[in-house]
Structure 1
Amino acid sequence: MTEFLHVLTDHWSLFGKGFGNTVKLFLIAAVGSLLLGVLLGAFRVSPIPALRWFGATYVNIVRNTPLTLVFAFLVFAVPKLDVDFEYFTAAFVALTVYTAAFICEVVRAGVNTVPPGQAEAARALGLTFAQVLTQVVLPQALRSMVPPLMSVLIAMLKNTTVAAGFSVLEAGAIPAYMAEFGEPQFYVLLWIAIGFLVLITPLVLLQRFLERKLAVAR
């Protein structure tokens, strides 16, 4: 037990920096993917065929591409085009681009749960597509979107560990650094698992809170 505790206490700065970067990467990518995902979702339900085609094409390509390949493209291929990305920047762009495709589908599915009559009535009042979507449809769709949306964000938090393979010091990179100190990898991995449990628990509690609050608002 003492050795288990010393793995954390003797390398607290490394764990702190690793998980600090994980949280930072998650927060930035979460905001970016939500904004891009909602925009793509709007494209998917747009009355303009070109926008629907673009949204569907983006989702089909990105969702069927491994996240590791998205990372590799931004880290190794993009610099060949004279576009310099820091590893951390490439990591949150990769996570944003990848996760937005899943958020897009959550938004589209949520919009489809709203009765068509709601949008038709809003259009009859003279509202534009953007006004109908933001003021009428999305507020109602949000109730059904919360559970899958939080699940996507939780998955993205765990996906941040992929960045460790591309020179980003975050939680997934800690075992490689700890190996240099000869620390037991089992204890290291156990602490990382506990760390992710601490990070994910607030998201789960937030999901349950929002579900209860939105259910009362029905």
Structure 2
Amino acid sequence: MTDEPRPQDGEPDVVPLADLRTPEPHWFNVPNLLTFLRALLVPVILWLLAVDGEGDTARWWAFAVFVFAAATDSIDGWVARRWNGVTRWGQLADPIADKLLIIGSLASLAVVGDLPWWAVNVIIAREVAVTLLRVRLVRRLDLVMPASNWGKAKTVSQVVAVAAFLAPGVPTGVAELVLDVAIVLTIWSGIEYAFRAGRLVRTRREGDPT
């Protein structure tokens, strides 16, 4: 699960937007339905946390739903590549669904008092800032910057943090430590992305005297 297009081995750090504008199948296909399902499962997680009473049954269900939703990110990508179902709609919707799943799950945990709202706000601020920066790169340079290793590590740490808070039996101290790591990676990956974008803009300006 990543929040930017994924480069393959040997691909450049940036992808011309024109390279993504290729003939594609209809947007209504299995991979895109899985992407849509990932976003729809967020309210289910919130409802399971809200109804959690004595025992851990609802909590385990919330954990299972989240793990399944996170897994669909890899499943829809595999299905899209194997069945030639890659679409521009999917390329746009996939990272949005990922963000909705992570932020929605964290917000759901904050609503029931399991983690602080400041952590949710930090992650939201980073995602909004990086998204705006990506839009600016597309508009000014017609380029899409793929996810870096730091971005991928950030996403994995956020998934692990949510899973740790959802899973019954995980010590609070362990879950909080994982969340702290996710917050640090979230902030650092945003800074790293900004530096990469800045270098790219400067390189383009130096190469174009106009």
Q: Same fold (TM over 0.5)?
A: no
Provide the TM-score with structure 2 as the length reference.
0.34
Q: Higher helix proportion, which one?
A: 1
Give the alignment's TM-score, normalised by structure 1. Answer: 0.33
